[in-house]
Every structure is written in C-alpha cells, then in structure tokens.
Structure 1
Amino acid sequence: MTVQPKPIPALYCVYILRSTVRHGSLYIGSTPNPPRRLSQHNGQVKGGAVRTSRSSLRPWEMVALVSGFASSTAALKFEWALTNPHTSLHIPSESRLAFSTQRKRNGQPKRPPKSLTSILSNLHLLLSVPSFARWPLTVHFFARDVHAAWGRWCGKAERELRGSLPVVTDFGDNVTAVAKAVKPPDDAEDGEEGDEVPTWGIYGLSLDYEPLKEYVAKGRDIFEFERQGSCVVCKEEIEPDEGGLHAVCSNEGCEGVGHLRCWGRYLLRKEEGVREEAVLPVGGRCPRCKGEVHWGTMMKELTLRVRGQKEVEKLLKVKRKRAAKKKTMKTNEANEEEP
C-alpha cells in the first residue's frame, strides 16, 4: 500500500498532564487536539489512557506542551524520548539525567519514577540535543508553578537552549472573554447550547490552518498566475513548469520566492552560532523585504501548497452554505408574511 504524503499538520504536540487531586501524578502523551484529548483523559468522552482512568486522580490538567512537530511520527519520537530518558538514544550517554536502578522481568531497564522536576529537566535536555535542537518547536506553559519550575531548572542547566526557541505562557490572566460556547453534540435537542470552556490555555490554541489563511492564499495565487519571477537568492528565473520545490516569504506584501535549497543555504549562512553539520535553518531575514521569516512556517505553507489540496480548498473556500441558508430563511419569512 502506498502512503500518500501529507502536509505538515496544523498542530501536533507532546503534552504534560498533571492530576489536580495529586500533583505528583503525571502523564506524558501526544495529540493533534489537546482539548479533546484532555476530555478523554477526564472521562468526558470515549478514549484516554488506562493510566489516567482512575477516578481518584481526576480531573487532570494539561500544564505544559511542546508544539510544532512536522508529523505524528515526529511527535511520537519526542514523546517516547521524554517518557524514556533513561534509554533514549537521542540523549548522549554523557548527558543523561535519568538512570534506571531496577530491571523488568524481561531484563529491560525499568523506568525511573517521574516527577515534575525530572520531566522538565529532560524536556530541557531533549530540546538541546542534536536530534531536536533545530526543530521548529514552541514550548507552552499553562500553570504558573510549572513555568516557575522550568525557570529554576533553566538557570542551573549545563546545556543552553537556542536563543530563538519560543517559550509561551498563558495562565488566563487579564482575559476579558473567559469562556466560549462549545458546539453541542449532533444528538442534542434543538436550541440546546453546548458547555462553556475557557478561551485561554489549551483552549486558546489554533487547531486548524486559519492563522495561515492569507499566507496560503498568497502562495497559491503566485504560482497559479505565474508571478514567481526569479529566485530571491540565486536570481535565476523560476520557470512555471520547473519541478523543484519553492518557498515563499511569509511577510505580508512580499512575494519573494526562491528555490528551497537556496533559502536553506542563505538562512544557514546568516544564522549566528550555527554548527557546520546543521542542515535545517531555524529562521532569519527575507533577502527581499528584510522581514523576519521562520523556517517551520514556510515549510507548513509549502507542504500545504504541494500536498494539501483538500486542506487548502477547505481553508480558502467561500462559506456559501451559510449565506444560502440565510437567504432561504428570509425568503420563507417573506412568503409567510404575504396574505
């Protein structure tokens, strides 16, 4: 069976779950939909892990997560390494922080007990090792004490994270609209409203490609109307039928297009402190508009353009059904008013 290539997902993350009843009970998982996954862990909808099914530990909360994984496979690799830092080959032996002191019946090393400090220290370590250091990841914290613990560890960690790694906090402070209505299930009675949930934390994360809508529209128009011109780096003309991959500047008003290899080499050259063996840039400045660009965002748009026709059509289509429904309702109302 042939596996069809897919675009980079809108969101895929590795999360840290904590029991609100017993803070020492922690769980690590991965998901493309944190709100739905949390509902599963809390038994509100079907699914969830057996380890989080004990009613004495519910409800659970997501206190932190790492987003920006290019696929579910990438997220699962990171999740496994964070769950098994005592055996993960992504961590050099001389840098390992977690060690097993016991063996399972099959002779394999037993996982050492997890604590918030051990998870955060190994998270910091994984974000700095060669396997993951240059991935376009973002760290999110939704609990103030967890973020404080992260800060304490960063202050004494021997390894440093790259300076451009985004760390976002959202504790729900100064939020004016603190709740939103959730769409009710299909079997709900007419007029029944859904439950209300917060708009901050995991509920404030974008689960679709909506933030990229204007960028995606720009990229599609450039290539549909053959406005790609010449490469912004090597200055060679980009032919309409050229088979190579091309990246587009993400800044509003700039239509800078370049060969993928040219963009990569250019951004790596301009990046300070980059290792010679690095093959993936993190970001930099567009050679045309001089605006800041992020490699992960550019690759998400590119993979949508070349692999995600269905996703692009869904994102850019005009919502005609809703307009047609309103028109029909108005027509029916007018007909009822006629004598």
Structure 2
Amino acid sequence: MPVRFYCCYLLQSTPKPTSFYIGSTPDPFRRLRQHNGELTQGAYKTSSAAKRPWKMICCISGFQSQVAALQFEHAWQHPYQTRHIPKENRIVNSRSQMYRSLDKYIGNLRLLASADAFSRMPLTVHLLEEVALMAWMKNKFKIAIPEYVHVEEDIRPNIGRQDDDLPPIGGGKLKLYTTQYSVSKLSELYCNYKKEDQQGAVCPSCHFEVDLTKFASTLLENCQDQVIPRSGSCPSCQKPIEWSVIAHFAKVS
C-alpha cells in the first residue's frame, strides 16, 4: 500500500514574476492546470488572465496526511504569525512584507522545513525551476537546513502544460505493506514467530520486516534527547528507513 502523496507548492506568474501563490494538493499536475484555466475549480487568486500562465517553481512533499500538508500550507502563507516560526527567527513581520519577494518565500520554506512540528516527516524539497534553484542556493537569510530534509533539483520547463511530464515527486522510496509471513531471525530486534496481519514496513532492497517497537527502542539508544526517532538503517542491507513513514502505516493499515 503506497503512501498517499501530498505536497505544498509555490507558483510564480510568468507575465508578472513578482506575483506568487502558495497551495497544497495531492495532484500537482492537475492542480496547476486548474490554476491556469485548462481545468475548472482553480483558485480565485490565480484566475486573473493577466497573471496566467503560472509556473510551479518548487514544492515540498513527504507529508503523512492531508491535514499535515494543510498545516504547512497555512504556515507558509502566514509566516508572520505562525507558531511554527519563533518570533526571533521570523524574516517577515507582516503580510505586506511577503509580497514580491521570492527570497522571502524560499526563506520561509527553509524555516518551516526545519520546524519541530514537521521534523518527524520525511520531507523533500523539489526545485522545479531555475529561479527557485538560484534563490535556494543564494539563501539570502542564511537559514540552515537539517540533514533529514532532502533537497532535489528537477528543472523542467513549462511544467503544467498538457503535454509535459510531471517530475517524479510522488510516492515513497520505501515500499510498505501489511505482511502475513514470518519475520527473519537476522537481528535481535525482530521476532521469529508468525503473526496474522503483522503490520510493518519492508525494505525494498532486501524485504526485511521491521518490528516497530524494538526498532524504535534501538534508534533511541543513541538519541537521548529525542522521544520519537527520526530515521534509521535496515539492519539487513543498511539502507535508510524513515520512522515517520513506518509509524504512519502501522497506524492506518
């Protein structure tokens, strides 16, 4: 069962490059076509013909639910008042300061990607246009990004037109299942008995099944300042495994 995809995105107007729009969606390709009027049910703020077409210049994915994506979207739209950015770290203090500055949109994206509320999610920032890549590399406000936030460059022109391919930003690198077979004896972390409808995650490389409780305890042994782990390695093949993805499927499967 794959992770359902949600992302928050930043649009930039092609004829008016100082106009931007922030939104969230499970289908960025379809949503951009809606914003550009190719499909119905676009947003009012992107409906002006003078600002079309819009380009999706970057997005951030890895949210475990629609609610989490909406929370990030709201915080990105209101960085001057969100609780996810401490007052002393804010780069804007009013709504008017947000307008016309790509550097501030990217700066606030960096701040939110580093926020504690989203730190247990396997977030990936996708830079889809050269302007977003340049602003990200420029990092005008010198905001550091934690190692657990992934950044991918996927520069493709004119994303959103009907004949364009969508960058591969949906889906996860870890295949997750509700398993019904015996767990390997490879590690002490894992049980050696068969249990009906055992919930867990399977490494896509070696198909090793994670016992969630013991895996969490092991990860926390070297992270005494954490209550919930972030990630770890498969004890079989040493490939990375995101704890938030595993926990999500244990809850909803």
CA offsets, 1:32-60, max 9 Å, x none? 00011001101111111111100000000
Report how far residue 81 of structure 1 moved.
Answer: 0.5
**CA deviation after TM superposition for structure 1 residue 235, in Å:** 4.5
Equivalent residues in 2 for 1:101-180, closer than 5 Å: 112-114=97-99, 115-153=101-139, 157=142, 159-172=143-156
Q: Which residue of 1 aligns with 2:182?
A: 227
Q: Pick from 14, 22, 28: which aligns with 2:16?
A: 22
Decide whether the 8 Å contact of 1:233 with 1:287 is kept in 2: no
5+ residue gaps, structure 1, are 1-6, 101-109, 180-194, 308-339
Partner of residue 216 from structure 2, selected from 257, 260, 264: 264
Structure showing the higher strand proportion among its residues = 2
Q: CA RMSD in A?
A: 3.0
| SS of aligned partner of 1:197 | coil
Partners of 2:80 and 2:123 in 1: CA distance: 23
1:279 is matched with 228
Counting matched residue pairs gives 251
Distance 2:121 2:96 in 1: 26
Structure 2: unaligned runs, 5 residues or longer = none
Is the contact between residue 231 and residue 237 of structure 1 (CA under 8 Å) also seen in structure 2?
no
Distance 2:30 2:248 in 1: 23
Q: Aligned residue for 2:36?
A: 42
Q: Which amino acid aligns with 2:111?
A: L
Displacement, 1:278?
A: 4.3
Q: Give the counterpart of 2:163 among 197, 205, 216.
A: 197
- RCO comparison, higher one (Cα < 8 Å, 6+): 2
Is the Cα contact below 8 Å between 1:81 and 1:90 reproduced in 2? yes
Residues 225-268 of structure 1, C-alpha deviation per residue, up to 9 Å, x if partnerless?
A: x3225694445444515x8x74334142332331x122223234
Distance 1:10 1:57, change over 3 A: same
**Counterpart amino acid of residue 150 in structure 2:** P
Contact 2:200–2:246 (8 Å) recurs in 1: yes
Is residue 229–residue 257 contact of structure 1 (8 Å, CA) maintained in 2? no
Matches within 5 A, 1:65-84: 65-84=59-78
Deviations 1:75-133 (A, max 9, x none): 00001111101110111122122102xxxxxxxxx554322111111111111121223
* Structure (1/2) with the larger helix percentage: 1
TM-score (norm 2): 0.85
Compared CA separation, residues 263 and 231, structure 1 to 2 (3 A) = farther
